[in-house]
Amino acid sequence: MKVAVLKEMADAEKRVAAVPATVEKMVAAGMEVLVQTGAGLASGFRDADYQGAGAKIDDHPEILLAAGDVLLTVQRPSAEELERIPEGVALVAYSLQSRGDASFSAGLQRRRLTALSLDLLPRIARAQNMDVLSSMANIAGYKSVLLAAGALGKFFPMLMTAAGTVLPAKVFVLGAGVAGLQAIATARRLGALVSAFDVRPAVKEQVESLGARFVALGIDEHAEDAKGYAKEVSAETARKERELVLEELKTTDACITTALIPGKKAPVLVTAGMVKAMKPGSVIVDLAAEQGGNCELTEPGKTVVVHDVTVIGPVNIVSSMAFQASQLYARNVLNFLLHLYDRQARKVSLDRADEIVKGCLIAHAGEVLQGGP
Ligand code: NAD
């Protein structure tokens, strides 16, 4: 089985879908790995390292595409790029959902591609080592705190100096899933006083175990679905949550928002009025920027200052930590690939009854199964 790893086509993407260590494992499993010249350079991996791991390096994407049975990428190819991929190839990427782009779905169908979208993997124990969402959310949570600390004109830790005591910064984390918990841990390591809120009361213990204060809503709505994800809350709970967030924000120096509801636009938790009530010089880092934002004033990909508050809306924040983001993503991809790989037949074998395959298979043999427009 030939596995092709192309240099990411999107300019802003520094990650790569395979690193030398994962190439070595693929080769040991009997796969032939072809890597485009310079594919790993932006994330800190040289062609020579890939070669040392057993990959063949080629500068011609068309040749790589034509020769590959499986194509590994981070970003979704564009509809035009799909046309260059030979029929029947299996495409594995972070997300292959069309997100309203009908031409992309049509391309998958026309090219009879097998499309496996890793963001749709079920969050089950068996698939934990393939969980790209958690890998990337961890990085985003960490980096969001560094962005906040960089933009805040204050120390995070408490300092006792001859000139007086510096009080610690107050950090408020909205949404305590994977990214939120990492943001809490990172802000705590920097010495901030951290509080957090989530609609899933189950996270209270996790928040407290990291040394943060859990801001309780005092409402008994069970805003959690059977898979452990958040659900949209009732109008009454949303109103109470806004009151609670407003009170917390009045004394917050840095707010990190991470609240998401799978398959939906991110809930707006911080309104323009709440931003106005914050102290001048405060910072908001909105990790939900790409899903519409948790803050009403967020502009995806931009940093804006409104009511003397800096609102940062990072886009593809994980690409700014491309070395480890690639390592973790590539390991998830490797584990997924090995799960699908039939060593005897030396090819990908799709067991359509397998929960993992069923979860992330978007298109196969000319049929779009899910994740369409
Ligand atoms: P996510 O990125 O979908 O959402 C982030 C957080 O936002 C969640 O904690 C959610 O409850 C919260 N949120 C949603 N609406 C909110 C609102 N109105 N106000 C405040 N917070 C709000 O979540 P995630 O980080 O991907 O993890 C979600 C769940 O998946 C968790 O239960 C987690 O433990 C579970 N999980 C399971 C596995 C596994 O078993 N393999 C791996 C990772 C995560």
Residue 334 pLDDT greater than 90, yes or no: yes
Q: Is 51 helix (H, G, I), strand (E, B) or coil?
A: helix
Pocket (CB within 6 angstroms of ligand 1): 123, 128, 131, 133-134, 137, 174-180, 197-200, 228-230, 233, 241, 258-262, 267, 269
Q: Which atom of ligand 1 is found nearest the CA of 133? A: 26
Confidence band, pLDDT 50/70/90 cuts, at residue 63: confident
Is residue 134 among the annotated active site residues? yes
DSSP 224: B
**Two tokens, residue 330:** 């590539």
Say if residues 232 and 267 touch (Cβ distance below 8 Å). Answer: yes
Kindly state the DSSP code that residue 232 receives in the 8-state scheme.
Answer: P
C-alpha count within 13 angstroms, C-beta hemisphere, residue 229:
13
- CA-nearest of 229, 232, 228, 202 to 214 is 202
Whether the predicted pLDDT of 275 surpasses 70:
yes
Give the pLDDT confidence of 156-214 residue by residue, as tens digits.
999 999 999 999 999 999 999 999 999 999 999 999 999 999 998 889 999 999 999 99
CA 22 – ligand 1 centroid, Å: 28
Q: Read off the amino acid at residue 79.
A: A
* CA 26 – ligand 1 centroid, Å: 32
Residue 220 has pLDDT above 70, yes or no: no
* 75 in active site: no
Report helix angle 132-151 to 178-189, nearest 10.
40
Q: Is the pLDDT of residue 117 over 90?
A: yes
183-187: long-range contacts, CB 8 A cutoff, minimum separation 24: 183/141, 183/142, 183/144, 183/145, 183/256, 183/258, 183/287, 184/210, 184/212, 185/141, 185/210, 186/141, 186/142, 186/145, 186/146, 187/145, 187/148, 187/156, 187/254, 187/256
| Percent of residues, the chain, with pLDDT higher than 90 | 82
Please state the rounded mean pLDDT for residues 89-106.
Answer: 92
Q: How far is the CA of 275 from the centre of ligand 1 (A)?
A: 24
Q: What span, in angstroms and rounded, lies between the C-alpha atoms of 36 and 187?
A: 39
pLDDT value of residue 67 = 83
Return d(Cα 181, Cα 126) in angstroms, integer.
22
pLDDT at 227 over 80: no
DSSP letter, residue 137: H
In this structure, of 219-228, 283-292, 321-330, 362-371, the range with the lowest mean pLDDT score is: 219-228
Shortest-distance Cα residue to atom 36 of ligand 1: 123
Question: How many other CB atoms are there within 10 angstroms of residue 347's CB atom?
Answer: 16
- Pairing assessment for the beta strands 254-257 and 114-117 based on DSSP bridges: unpaired
Give the chain's mean pLDDT. 94
pLDDT-based confidence at residue 99 (cuts at 50, 70, 90) = confident
Are 334 and 26 a contacting pair, CB within 8 Å?
A: yes
Distance from C-alpha of 70 to C-alpha of 162, rounded to nearest angstrom: 63
Q: What would the mean pLDDT of 349-363 be, rounded to a whole number?
A: 95
Q: What is the pLDDT of residues 276-306, one digit of tens each?
A: 999 999 999 999 999 999 999 999 999 999 9
pLDDT at position 354, please?
96
Identify the top-confidence range among 68-77, 95-104, 182-191.
182-191
Helix (H) / strand (E) element for 146: namely: helix 132-151
Residue type, 14: K
With bands split at pLDDT 50, 70 and 90, how would you rate the model's confidence at 128? Answer: very high
> Catalytic: 324?
no
- Can you tell me which residue has the tokens 């790893």? 5
Phi, psi of 16 (to 5 degrees): -135, 150
For position 35, what pLDDT does the model report?
97
> Alpha carbon of 198 to those of 204, 241, 272: distances in Å?
8, 9, 20
Q: How far apart are CA 124 and CA 245, in angstroms?
A: 32
Query: Is the pLDDT confidence value at 221 over 80?
Result: no
- Comparing C-alpha atoms, which of 190, 147, 184 is closest to residue 168? 190
Residue 209 catalytic? no
Q: What's the rounded Cα separation, in Å, for the pair 176 and 159? A: 28
More confident position, 130 or 241? 130
pTM value is 0.94
- Whether 349 sits among the annotated catalytic residues: the reply is no
Does position 335 have pLDDT exceeding 70, yes or no?
Answer: yes
pLDDT at 249 over 90: yes
Identify the H or E element spanning 296: none
Amino acid at 36: Q
Which atom of ligand 1 is least distant from the CA of 223?
11
